[in-house]
Amino acid sequence: MPKQAKRSTSRKAAAKKTARKAVHKSSRKKATRKKAAVKKATRKAAAKTARKKAAARKASPKRAAAKKAASRKKATRARPAAKKAKKAAKRAAPKAAKETPRRPRVVGPRAHSHSGLSRPEVKALHQKLQQERGKVLAELRRSVHGAVDEISPFSESIDQAQHETEQNFRLRLADKQRKLLNEIDTALQKMDTGEFGICEGTEDPIGFRRLEIRPWARYSVEYKEMKDRRDR
Same domain, yes or no: 123 and 19: no
| Domain with 193 in it | 119-231
pLDDT band at 12 (very low <50, low <70, confident <90, very high): low
The percentage of the chain sitting over the pLDDT mark of 70, rounded to a whole number, equals: 62
DSSP secondary structure, 168-191, as one string: HHHHHHHHHHHHHHHHHHHHHHHH
Taking the C-alpha atoms of residue 46 and residue 56, their distance in angstroms, rounded to an integer, is 15
pLDDT for the residue 138: 92
> Which range (68-82, 87-101, 154-168, 191-205) has the least confidence?
87-101
Same domain, yes or no: 124 and 215: yes
41 located within any domain: yes
pLDDT band at 211 (very low <50, low <70, confident <90, very high): very high
58 located within any domain: no
162 located within any domain: yes
Same domain, yes or no: 47 and 125: no
Q: Would you say residue 59 has pLDDT above 50?
A: yes
Alpha helices in 115-196 (DSSP H): 119-148, 157-193
Same domain, yes or no: 217 and 124: yes
202 located within any domain: yes
37 located within any domain: yes
First-to-last C-alpha distance (Å) of the chain: 165
Q: Tell me which range, 8-17, 104-113, 196-205, is most confidently predicted by mean pLDDT.
A: 196-205
Same domain, yes or no: 128 and 28: no
Torsion of CA 85, 87, 93, 97, to 10 degrees: 130
70 located within any domain: no
Name the phi and psi angles at 205, rounded to 5: -60, 140
- At 21, is the secondary structure helix, strand, or coil? helix
Q: Would you say residue 214 has pLDDT above 70?
A: yes
pLDDT for the residue 137: 92
pLDDT band at 180 (very low <50, low <70, confident <90, very high): very high
Closest CA to 110 of 210, 196, 183: 196
Q: Average pLDDT over the chain, rounded to whole?
A: 77
The domain tally of the chain equals 2
Taking the C-alpha atoms of residue 211 and residue 116, their distance in angstroms, rounded to an integer, is 12
46 located within any domain: yes
The percentage of the chain sitting over the pLDDT mark of 90, rounded to a whole number, equals: 33
86 located within any domain: no
- What CATH number does residue 193 fall under? 1.20.120.910
